Amino acid sequence: MRRWTNEIIVGTGIMLAIAIGIYGYVFLRDLPVRQQGYKITLVFPNVTGLQSGDGVTVSGLKVGRILAMNLTRQGVEVRVWMNGQVPFPKDSRAAIRSIGMIGEKYIALLPGQSPENLHEDDVVFGVYESDLADAGGSLTEMIDQTKALLSKINTA
């Protein structure tokens, strides 16, 4: 009888560890599990630095997240899950912005004035707003070219 109780305790412990692991993964990835909401498509000409899982915000509050991105003839289609807590007008716009100097990106949803609201599978067009984080790459190239020019002047 003692042999079976040890196996039951070990089996229960393993099942509990697996359940905690799955819950932790879902919690850390912020996956929508049994949550209300809807999915919309945002179309951008450029999505440099944007990744699946990045947030969608309105006035600094997170209202959704990016599910997937696909290249099409119109541009880049970004599939987004919205939590549905607040309705957004159909003429809303989207903009890709950076968080600080590091260059982490997010989508800022800019509400419009339309009396109709966004629904499942609606399409919103957006713009890519370049900022100081995007200028860092070209600035590095310029510094390298300046160093090369100065070394040639020193040699001469």
pLDDT, tens only, 21-44: 988 887 776 665 666 788 899 999
Cβ atoms < 10 Å from Cβ of 92: 21
Q: Tell me the average pLDDT across 43-71.
A: 88
Q: Tell me the average pLDDT across 116-145.
A: 74
Residues 86 and 113: their CA atoms lie apart, in Å, by 14
Nearest to 54 by CA among 72, 42, 37, 45: 42
Confidence check: pLDDT of 14 > 90: yes
Q: Token pair for residue 69?
A: 């991105």
* Alpha-carbon distances, residue 13 vs 2, 8, 56, 100, 133 (angstroms): 17, 8, 38, 44, 48
Note the pLDDT of residue 19. 92
* Alpha-carbon distances, residue 39 vs 16, 52, 65, 123 (angstroms): 33, 14, 10, 10
Confidence of residue 74 (pLDDT cuts 50, 70, 90): confident
Note the pLDDT of residue 77. 93
* Range from 14-28, 75-89, 117-131 carrying the lowest mean pLDDT: 117-131
Is residue 150 within a helix (H) or strand (E), and if so which, with residue range?
A: helix 132-155
